[in-house]
Amino acid sequence: MRGGLKIVTEKNLYNMGAALIKNMGFQNIDDFLTNPDMVPPQPDMREQEKMMEMQVKQQELQIKAADLQLKQQKLQQEAAESAVDAQLKAAELQLEASQGRPIAIG
């Protein structure tokens, strides 16, 4: 509630409305009014912005981590390909040495 003088609170308004409803003959006030003590407080806008910024940063970190993992997998794949190429070259050189003539395997 906004205003210049804080002479009436939400609880005061609720109590006044509850008294009016009871005087009208209705027994269940909750059918007409919500007790302000039962309403959870609204989070501060600054807190919400901070939480959203934290979530964005967390998602950015997750993207960076996934990118690093992808780069690591590429490096491992390149290393495995290099190892296979080295094995092929070694087999080619060994075969050339045993046969005494040039052979091209890979």
Least Cα distance to 69 among 59, 61, 58 occurs for 61
pLDDT at site 3: 59
What's the longest Cα–Cα distance across the chain?
Answer: 114
pLDDT at site 98: 85
pLDDT at site 57: 97
pLDDT at site 106: 57
pLDDT at site 2: 60
pLDDT at site 53: 97
Low-confidence residues of the chain: pLDDT under 70: 1-4, 105-106
What residues contact 75, with CB distance under 8 A and at least 6 apart?
Answer: none
pLDDT at site 85: 92
Cβ burial of 51 (10 Å; 0-12, 13-18, 19+) is exposed
